[in-house]
Each structure stands twice: as C-alpha cells, then as structure tokens.
Amino acid sequence: MGPGIALTFALGGLSVTVLSRTAGGADEAVRKARSLAGVLGENGLITPDEADHAVELLTGSSHFESVVGAAGLVVESTPESLAFKQELFQRLDRLAPQDAVLASNTSGLSITAIAARCTRPERVLTMHFWNPAHLIPLVEIVQGDRTSVEVVERVRLFLVQCGKIPVVVRKDRPGQLGNRLQMALMREAVHIVGEGIASAEDVDSVIRNGLGIRMPAYGTLEHMDITGVDLGASVMDYVTPDLYNDARAPESVREMVRRGDLGAKTGKGFYDWSVKNADSVRAERDAFVIEVLRYRRRR
C-alpha cells in the first residue's frame, strides 16, 4: 500500500519521502511508486506532465528520526497490530513537529486506541486507502474520539486535491465504514454457501453481474430511494429474519479455517486455486477498475 499512497500524495503536489527499515527497501518502494505512475499515465488517467512531476517529488529514506522530525503529514502502513501501532504512534508523537498530522492506514483498528499514548490525539486520525491505492478513489477518514474536526477537514480537502474521493467516518467503530458494509455482504455470502443455498461460483456471479456491476454508478441507498423506502422496509421485514445474524463467523467458514483451507495462499478455499491464479484475478480486477476510471474521466 505504501507506494500507492506515496504516489497519491505526490500527484497532489506534496514532496513525499517513503520510509523503510532499510535503504534498499525505501529505494524499492520508490521504484514501485514510479512504476504505478507509469500505469496511470499509460492508461490516460494522468497526463505525462503530471506523471513526471509526481516522480520528481518522490524520494526514499531509512532515516526515521530526521524524516519524521521534518514532516507535516505522516501516514503509516504497517501490520495490523494494535500494540505495534500504539508504540509507533507514541514515537511519532514525540518526534514529529507540533502541528504535524499523524495518520494510520489501518483497515479496522480503533484510531482512538492507536492514539492512546499520544500527547496530541487531536492531530491523529485514520486515513484508510483501499487496495490498490493508486487506483481506488475511496479514502476513509476516521475521526477518533479526540480528533480535531478542523484537522479532519484539512485532510479531506487535501485528499480531494490528490484526486481521491474521501468520506468522513464520524464515529470510531470496528470496521470503519467500507469494511462494515463489506463484512455484512461477506458474512451472508459465506452463510449462503455453507447452507447449500447456492455455490460459491453462483454467489460471486450474482455479485459481479448483478448488484456489483451497477454499484459504481448507483449506490444502495439511492436504489432504496428510487424503488421506494416503503418497499425497502417491507422487503427487510420479510428477508432479514432469515439472514445470518450470529455475532461471529458462520460455522462453515470456521471449519474451513480448521481444515487449513485458507484460500489462494494454501491452494484451496471456496475455490480450487490449483486451477485458478490469484495474480490473474487481481489483474482482471485492476483492468476493470481502470476502465471505470477512464469512463468517469471522459464524462
């Protein structure tokens, strides 16, 4: 995620330093960010001049203290460990300038908890990019219990300047906004397969070729307004009693975990990954996203 986030900021006109534990790691991250700029340029999503200017703004470093000590905005993209992030943010809080904004790219941890050891929690927030960060427009800004509203607005305006579509999550809740919606869909999808209602292939076909294909232009709540809130409420009353409502993952997916069927990384999950290729699936996803972005750019 780091290289995509770095490129986003550079496209917004910010001088960006990518930090890594080693100089080699930092150089590789910059190389990757420059490669992503090439992808955007080749597909007409940025101009050659924009790509060249962004590349000039990217540097790498392994000198943590000196870089953080001069930064106006720090965004971490590290493993999802609360203890690790708390220790890191305590250090960032100590080293960064008084007016620096400290942001986490966490996809679900509480930003209030992450900032618990900071002396300036009002300047700490979540800035959650969706993968792949150089393509997906959405960025979720999560406001912690003590995050300044003024800081949130400054960050929101900056992300707009970077070409992103930020949303503000005003309450620090598990899963933020996007992952809460995604988990609701994922939980029911797993339940449907586990109950034998439909196959994994047919569940994914419904998502890809039905509701999913219209979602880039037609939100769920827009759909409810257009079809009628009264109808929506009636359907909810009829359907929701039969949905999966336990406060944990369905037993069928827990059994998969016990068997070691963990998906592409083990060769088997809902699909047989000896005959499917995860890189090809990701490439097809990215190609589709690029086409959607090109369509939006032409409008």
Instruction: List, for residues 217-243, the tens digit of each pLDDT value.
Output: 899 999 999 999 999 999 999 999 999
**Amino acid code (one letter) for 143:** Q
Query: pLDDT digit string (tens) for 138-195?
Result: 999 999 999 999 999 999 999 999 999 999 999 999 999 999 999 999 999 999 999 9
Query: pLDDT digit string (tens) for 203-216?
Result: 999 999 999 999 88
pLDDT of 90: 97
- Evaluate whether 286 touches 40 at the Cβ level (below 8 Å): no
The correct CATH number of 178-298 out of 1.10.10.10, 3.90.1150.10, 3.40.1390.10, 1.10.1040.10 is 1.10.1040.10
- Coil/strand/helix, residue 219: coil
Q: How confident is the model at residue 47 (pLDDT cuts 50, 70, 90)?
A: very high
Q: How confident is the model at residue 69 (pLDDT cuts 50, 70, 90)?
A: very high
Instruction: Give CA–CA dist 297/293, Å, rounded.
Output: 6
**Nearest alpha-carbon partner for 117 in 98, 90, 96:** 90
Q: Where are the domains of the chain?
A: 2-169, 178-298
- Evaluate whether 143 touches 125 at the Cβ level (below 8 Å): yes
Identical topology for domains 2-169 and 178-298: no
Give, in words, the CATH class of 2-169.
alpha beta
Within a 13 Å sphere around the CA of 193, how many CA atoms are in the beta-carbon half? 24
Query: pLDDT digit string (tens) for 92-146?
Result: 999 999 999 999 999 989 999 999 999 999 999 999 999 999 999 999 999 999 9
Q: Is the pLDDT score of 255 beyond 90?
A: yes
pLDDT of 82: 96
**Residue 59, φ and ψ in degrees, nearest 5:** -135, 165
- Evaluate whether 97 touches 71 at the Cβ level (below 8 Å): yes
With b for 16 or more beta-carbon neighbours within 10 A and e for fewer, the 197-219 pattern comes to eeeeeebbeeeeeeeeeeeeeee
- What are the structure tokens assigned to 80, written together? 């999802």
